[in-house]
Structure 1
C-alpha cells in the first residue's frame, strides 16, 4: 500500500501540552548531550566512534535519558549518527570547514518520533507512551488530533510530534497506509520540471500540457522584498516566511492535483520525471539567480506527485537521467545550447520548432520509453494546453475570512 504523510493539529489541555513540550525539550538535551560527548571524545583521542554501542554507553550518563519513550530515544540517537555520517561525507568532498555537526538551540523543542510502537491512534484520539521513569511520574498522554477529512487510511506506520515555532502550536505528522484507487490504464507520460513553467508534461498520444509557475515566482519575489525591510529571524520576519511557504505549498498542491487528475483521465499508469539530484551543485548562473533556483521547491513538488500518484494508482519515477534533455533537438538529436533562442522557444536548423520545456519533456519520454510520443516526422508538436493558478488572497496583512479555494483556468 502507498504511504503518505498526514499533518494534523494537536488539541491538548494545558497540562498535556506542558508534558509534551518537556519531552521534546528532553529530546533536544539528549541530541546535544550525545554531540557534546562525541566532540570531547574527538578532542581527547582524535577519533569519533558513532557506533550504536558507544552511543548507548553515553546515553546512560545523560540525566534526561528517561524523559521520554525509550524507542524514541533510540531514534534520537540514530539522528546523531546520521548527522555525523552526513558530516563525514561533506568533509570528504571538501564541502564543509566545520569540525563537527552543530548543536541545537537550548530552547529548541525537538520532534518526538514513534515507529511501529509506543503510540495508539483510535479515530481522532492519540495516546503516546512516555516511558516509566519520568520524574513527574507521567507514563502516557492522550489528546485529540484533526487533519484533512478526505484521507482514509488503513494503518498508521509512524508518528511524530513537532512544535511549530511560527504558529506556536504542537503538530502531529502521521505516516499512514492508504488504499490506492484501481487504475486500469496503460498510458505513459513524462514531466520536465522548471521555474517559469513549473511542469511540462508530454503524454503518449502526443498531447502536451504546461503548468505555469509564474505566480509562485511572483509570490516568492514579493515576500522576499517584504523581508528585506525586516530584521532577520524577528517575529514578523518568521511570520512572512511562514505565509510565503503556505502560499507556495497551496499552489504546488493545486498544480500537482490537476496534473494527476489529467493523467487519470487520460489513462496514464506511469509518469517519468528527470532526476534532479545534484542540480544545485551544477547551477552556475551568478549569485542572484543561483540563490533563487537553489530555493526552488523541486523535491517538495516531486514528493507531492509521488504520493498523489500512488493514491491514484500511478507510478511516479524520478530516477531518469535528464542530462542535456533541454538542449537536445527532439527531431534530429542535435545537442546545441544555442538552439534555445530565448525563454520558451527551441529552434533547430533541421526545422524542429517547439516550446523549450515541451522539447525537454519529449526527450525525457523518449529516453525512458525508447519511443517518441510525437506521431509522424513533420517536425510539429501539438500546441500545449497551458494551465495557470491563482490565490484568492495575497498581501502582508492577515486576509479577511474568505474562500481560499484555488482556481484553475486553462
Structure 2
C-alpha cells in the first residue's frame, strides 16, 4: 500500500501541551549534547566518529535522553548522523564554504518522532509514550487530533509531533497506509520545476502544459513586504507568515491536483522529476536571487505530487539528473548556456526554438526514459497550454500573438 503523510492539528489541555513541549525541548538538548561531544572528540583526536556505537556511548552520558521515548532518542541520534553525512558529502564535492552541523537554538523545540512503536491512534485519539526518567513521573500523554475531511487510511506507520513556529501551535504528522486507485495507464510524463514557470510538464505524445508560478511569486512578495514593517517573530509577524504559508500551500494544491487529474485522464502511470537535492548549495546568483531560490517550496511541491500520485496509482520519481537540462538543446544535444536567450526563450543554431522550460522538461523526459517524445516524430511538440493559478480559482489559456516567438511548436 502507498504511504501518505497527513497533517493534523493537536487538541490538548495546557498541562499536556506543556509536557509535550518539555519532551521536545529535551530532544533539542540531546541533539546539541551529541554535537558537543563529537566536537570535543574532534578537538582531542582530530577525527569525528559518527558511528551508532559511538553515539550510543555518548547517549548514556546525557541525562535528558531519559526524558522522552527511547526509540525517539535513537531517531534523534540518527538525525545527527545524517547531518554529518550530508556535511561530509558536501565537503567531498568541494563545497568548502559549508561548516560542520551547528547547534540548535536553546529555545528550539525538536520534533518527537515515533516509528511503528511508542504510540497508539484510535480514531481521533492519540496516545504517545515518554521517557522513564522524567522528573514529573509522566510516562505517557493522550490528546486528540483533527485533519482535513475525506482522508481514509488503513494503518498509521509513523507519527511525528512538531512545533510550528509560524503558527505557534503543536501539530502532528501521520505517515499512513492508504488504498490506491488502479494505475490509470502505462504512459509517461516528465516535469521541470521552476519559479516563474512552476511546472513544465512534457507528455509522451508531445503535449506540453505550463503551470504559471507568477501568482505564487506575487503572493510571497506581498507578504514579505508586509513582514518587513513588523518586528521579527512578533505575534503579528507570525500571523502574517502563517497566512502566507496557507495561501502558497493552497495554490500548490490547486496546481498539483490539476496536474495529477490530467495525468489520470491521459493514462499516465509514471512521472519523472529532476533531482533537486543539493542544487541550492551549487547556485550563486547574488544575495537577492539566492534568497528567493532557497525559500521557494520545491520539496513541498514534490511531496504533494508524490502523495497525490500514490493515491491515483501513479509512480512519481525525483531521481533524474538535472545537470545541463536547461542549457542543452533537445534537438541536437549541444550544451550552450547562451542559447537561453531570455527568461522564456531557448534557441539553437541547429534551428531548434522552444520555450525554455519546455526544452528543459523534454530533456528530463529523454534522460529519464532514454527516449524522446519529439525525436522520431516530426521534430515538433504541441503548442504549450499555460495554466494561471489564483487563490479562489484558476483558469487556462493559450499564449496569444505576442507569445508566438516563445512557442515550442515553431
| TM-score where L is the length of structure 1 | 0.87
**Equivalent residues of 1:354, 1:380 under 8 A apart:** no
SS in 2 for 1:250: helix
**Equivalent residues of 2:331, 2:375 under 8 A apart:** no
Q: Does 1:321 align with 2:321?
A: yes
Q: Structure 1's 293 and 45: CA in aligned 2 closer, same or farther, altered over 3 A?
A: closer
1:84-128 deviations in whole A, cap 9, x for unaligned?
333444455453464x53222223222111111111111111111
Counterpart residue number, 2:300: 300
Q: Does 1:214 align with 2:205?
A: no
**Equivalent residues of 1:354, 1:381 under 8 A apart:** no
Q: Please give the residue correspondences for 1:2-401 in structure 2 after superposition, counting only pairs within 5 Å.
A: 2-90=2-90, 93=94, 95-96=96-97, 98=99, 100-374=100-374, 378-392=378-392
Post-superposition shift, 1:276?
Answer: 2.5
**Equivalent residues of 1:153, 1:178 under 8 A apart:** yes
Q: Structure 1's 119 and 336: CA in aligned 2 closer, same or farther, altered over 3 A?
A: same
CA distance in 1, matches of 2:318, 2:143: 38
Q: Structure 1's 165 and 284: CA in aligned 2 closer, same or farther, altered over 3 A?
A: closer
CA distance in 2, matches of 1:147, 1:252: 18
**Equivalent residues of 1:158, 1:174 under 8 A apart:** yes
**Equivalent residues of 1:327, 1:340 under 8 A apart:** yes
**Equivalent residues of 1:120, 1:126 under 8 A apart:** yes
**Equivalent residues of 2:330, 2:359 under 8 A apart:** yes
Identify which range, 322-331 or 180-189, moves more after superposition. 322-331
Aligned residues: 396
Post-superposition shift, 1:264?
Answer: 0.3
Post-superposition shift, 1:292?
Answer: 2.0
SS in 2 for 1:65: helix
Post-superposition shift, 1:377?
Answer: 5.5
1:204-256 deviations in whole A, cap 9, x for unaligned?
22221111111111122222323333344444434333332222222112111
Computed over aligned residues only, the root mean square deviation of the Cα atoms, in angstroms, reads 2.5
Post-superposition shift, 1:199?
Answer: 0.9
SS in 1 for 2:63: coil
SS in 2 for 1:173: strand
Q: Structure 1's 65 and 325: CA in aligned 2 closer, same or farther, altered over 3 A?
A: closer
CA distance in 2, matches of 1:335, 1:41: 47
CA distance in 2, matches of 1:187, 1:227: 45
SS in 2 for 1:68: coil
Q: Structure 1's 231 and 91: CA in aligned 2 closer, same or farther, altered over 3 A?
A: farther
| TM-score where L is the length of structure 2 | 0.87
Q: Structure 1's 340 and 12: CA in aligned 2 closer, same or farther, altered over 3 A?
A: same
Post-superposition shift, 1:16?
Answer: 1.6
SS in 1 for 2:68: coil
**Equivalent residues of 1:83, 1:101 under 8 A apart:** yes
CA distance in 2, matches of 1:14, 1:203: 52
Structure 2 unaligned regions, length at least 5:
398-410
SS in 2 for 1:357: helix
